[in-house]
Structure 1
Amino acid sequence: MQFLNGITLLLVYQLVGEVTVRLAGVPIPGPVLGMVMLFITLWIRGQAPESVEQASSALLAHLSLLFVPAGVGMMAHFDRIADEWIPITFALLLSTVITMVVTALVMQLTTRWLVKPVAATEEQGHE
């Protein structure tokens, strides 16, 4: 029963994200917005309910099954992929580099933001 409650909660957040995106016209995927809302809720609570932990663990244990539809799509459209391998490769490489650069910049900004208050607190303690 815990698993069912957890899956239901995850799907409700996904649904709320979808509905919000459709009503507000936000240019992000509904499941992503739902995941952000779930993250904020869990952050405010300070912990995940047991049902969500159980459902997410079960989903992660079978994560490889979620890649089967993508693999089938790759095989079904193999001719098109073979014809357009140069733009696909370029897009993959460019998006990977952009993701790495943005991640590094966010990490640097976050580190500076978190380290300054700690350093300032330590300096005040020594005075």
Structure 2
Amino acid sequence: MNYLKEFVILCTCLFLGIITKQFINFPIPEAVYGMVYLFIAFALKIIEPDDVKKTSNGILHNLAILFVPAGVGIMNSYNEIRGKTLVLVIIVIVGTAITMAITGKVVELLQRRSDV
């Protein structure tokens, strides 16, 4: 498949996610809904992973560019977060630890379920 077709497939899934977000007022980002649609398309064999492989790899290789807006947002909010660095670092460390613990427990639970 060429890059344009692959990009259209990915953008279509994202667009469906945006539409879903408009109808379902739940705090889940549009991109997550789009990924769910992409997963459903894979699961139902509507498209194959190879159908979007080249474009997906290209996006992943340039992922750092997507973090630039977040960095600019932090720089714009610097006056508001100045002096709160220690609190923010603690929050990030604790949040990461909690996320890792919950993820580990969920994986353990799923592995036990699949063994039964």
- Give the TM-score taking structure 2 as reference length: 0.84
How many Å apart are 1:109 and its aligned residue? 1.1
How many Å apart are 1:53 and its aligned residue? 0.7
- Match for residue 47 of structure 1? 48
Q: How many residues align?
A: 115
- Match for residue 120 of structure 1? none
Give, in whole Å, the separation in 2 of the partners of 1:63 and 1:27: 24
Q: Unpaired segments of 5 or more residues in structure 1?
A: 117-127
Give, in whole Å, the separation in 2 of the partners of 1:47 and 1:103: 28
Are residues 113 and 44 of structure 1, via their aligned partners in 2, closer, same or farther at CA, if it must alter by over 3 Å?
A: farther
Larger radius of gyration: 1
- Match for residue 12 of structure 2? 12
Higher helix proportion, which one? 1
Give, in whole Å, the separation in 1 of the partners of 2:107 and 2:2: 36
Listed one character per residue, the Cα deviations across residues 7-45 of structure 1 (whole Å, up to 9, x for unaligned) are 111111111111112112233111111112211221332
- Match for residue 90 of structure 1? 90
- Give the TM-score taking structure 1 as reference length: 0.78
Deviating 4+ runs (over 4 angstroms): none
Q: Matched residues, percent identical? A: 32
